[in-house]
Every structure is written in structure tokens, then in C-alpha cells.
Amino acid sequence: MEYVFPPLPVQSLPVAGDSRRFALRRIFCVGRNYADHIREMGFQPEREPPFFFTKPIDALVQDGETVAYPPLTENFHHEAELVIAIGKAGADIAVANALDHVFGYATGNDLTRRDLQFALRDRGRPWDWSKAFDRSAVVGTISPRPGQALPGATRVRLNVNGETRQDATLDTMIWNVAEIIAALSASVTILPGDLIFTGTPAGVGPLEEGDKCTVEIDGLAPITTLIGPRA
């Protein structure tokens, strides 16, 4: 088959302990899943149904890469997150069966143009443009944990230039991994290769040119991102 222009290469991530790579399909993200982060964004936490937004697959950034300070923002933020890697297809999945669809987990950083997000939100417009920009989805090596949940005491930590900014445990999420998968699958069919960012705890903050940002999650490979000059 011939194409008008060459198709894009398959986006993929390394898998711990395996020479094979995890081919990616879609990137979903949960909004407002930690009560303390909801408060710092100016809202009161409620256990309402989770909502989702997406990032393009080619927004992927892997460990150790440099991300140029993006355009259209003066308030570029980090958001440390646990990422679920889906390994089994399903739709309208019950919470009790949701972990069966987990292939594994990775460390993530949901890079955000915060000032643009607030401006769009205040006008009642979708804020995809604040989230789904080039090189905005940092994801590390996937650690296989088929059918498993991580312990609630698992810590999510982020530091910038060695200074801790975010530090929380997974048991402070409003919606846990199984509930997130069930809620997402009620709207769309999930398939192997899908990633789900699970939300960020409090402590989000600005990144500047020259910063070194590191995210660590207990038991998973860390990720480090360097912030380069403006694009």
C-alpha cells in the first residue's frame, strides 16, 4: 500500500524485564482525583463521577528527554501521576472485574499550561489546549502488574531541582484504579495499549527553563525531565 506521506511511527514504551515494548493506542487522563489538589485549584472536593480528557499519542515524552518551554503560556506546570497501562479490552466493566484489564503501571507527569487552562475554564470552554499540546505527556518504563492494584501506601513524589513539590499516597485518591477503569469503560471501549493518567495530588507548580523535574513512585521506574529554552 502506498501513502500520500509516510505514516507516523508507532509510539511505544519500554517494559521492565522484557525486551518487547508496549505499543500505545490512546492516552486518557482523569481530572481532579485528589481532594487536596481540588482545593488548591479553587474547588471543593466531591465524589462526583470522574471526568476524563485526552492527550495525543505523539505528545509522549520518555525518561531523560528535554521538553522545550511551550508556547502560549507563562505558567507551565508539573503534575505527578500514576499511569495505568491497559492490557485487555473491555467495555462497561464492573469495578469488581476492572483490575483484570491492568497490564501494569508507570510513573507519569501531566505537563500543563496552567494560565491557559484557567482562561479557558473561566470562559466555559474546553481546556484541552492547556493539556493536549506537543510533548505534554511524560511517561516512564512500564512495570508489569497484571491484574493487580498497587498498595494504598504507595507514595507519589515530585521534585524540581532537588526540592520536593508533591508528596502523597495512592490511598488519598478519590477514585481508585478499579473505579477509574470501570468509569472510563462505561463511555468508551478500552483496548490494549491505552494509558490512563490517574490524577495529581496537591503541590503542582511552575517549571522554568533549565529546571530538572523528577517524579518517583514506589516500586516503579522514576522519570526525569529537563526543561529547555522556549519553543
Provide the 8-state DSSP code for 190: B
> Residue 152 to residues 54, 81, 147, 171: CA-CA distances in angstroms?
26, 14, 16, 4
| Residue type for position 224 | T
What band does 42 get if pLDDT is binned at 50, 70 and 90?
low
What is residue 43's predicted lDDT score, i.e. its pLDDT? Answer: 60
What band does 212 get if pLDDT is binned at 50, 70 and 90?
very high
What is residue 96's predicted lDDT score, i.e. its pLDDT? Answer: 98
What is residue 98's predicted lDDT score, i.e. its pLDDT? Answer: 98
Query: Distance between CA atoms of 194 and 200, rounded to whole angstroms?
Result: 19
141: cell is: 518504563
What is residue 45's predicted lDDT score, i.e. its pLDDT? Answer: 59
What is residue 124's predicted lDDT score, i.e. its pLDDT? Answer: 84
- Which bin fits 97, alpha (ψ -120 to 50), beta or left (φ > 0)? alpha
220: Cα separation from own chain's centroid: 14
| Residue type for position 31 | G
pLDDT tens string 148-173: 999 999 999 999 999 999 999 999 99
DSSP result, the chain: ---SSPPPPPPEEEETTEEEEEE---EEEEES-BHHHHHHTT-----PPPEEEEE-GGGEE-TT-EEEEPSS-S-EEE-EEEEEEE-S-BSS--GGGGGGGEEEEEEEEE-EEHHHHHHHHHTT---GGGTSSTT-EEE--BEE-TT-PPPTT-EEEEEETTEEEEEEEGGGBSS-HHHHHHHHHTTS-B-TT-EEE----S--EE--TT-EEEEEETTS--EEEEEEEE-
What band does 84 get if pLDDT is binned at 50, 70 and 90?
very high
In the sheet that holds 66-69, the strands lie side by side as 66-69, 223-230, 212-217, 155-160, 163-169
What is residue 91's predicted lDDT score, i.e. its pLDDT? Answer: 98
Q: What percent of the chain clears pLDDT 70, i.e. is strictly above it?
A: 96
Using alpha carbons only, what angle is made at residue 35 by residues 34 and 39, rounded to the nearest 5 degrees?
120
What band does 1 get if pLDDT is binned at 50, 70 and 90?
confident
What SS3 class is residue 77? strand
Beta bridge partners of 80: 109
For the chain, what is the mean pLDDT? Answer: 94
The CATH number of 12-230 is 3.90.850.10
What band does 82 get if pLDDT is binned at 50, 70 and 90?
very high
What band does 210 get if pLDDT is binned at 50, 70 and 90?
very high
What band does 218 get if pLDDT is binned at 50, 70 and 90?
very high
pLDDT at 47 over 90: no
What is residue 41's predicted lDDT score, i.e. its pLDDT? Answer: 58
Lowest mean pLDDT among 35-44, 50-59, 66-75, 165-174: 35-44
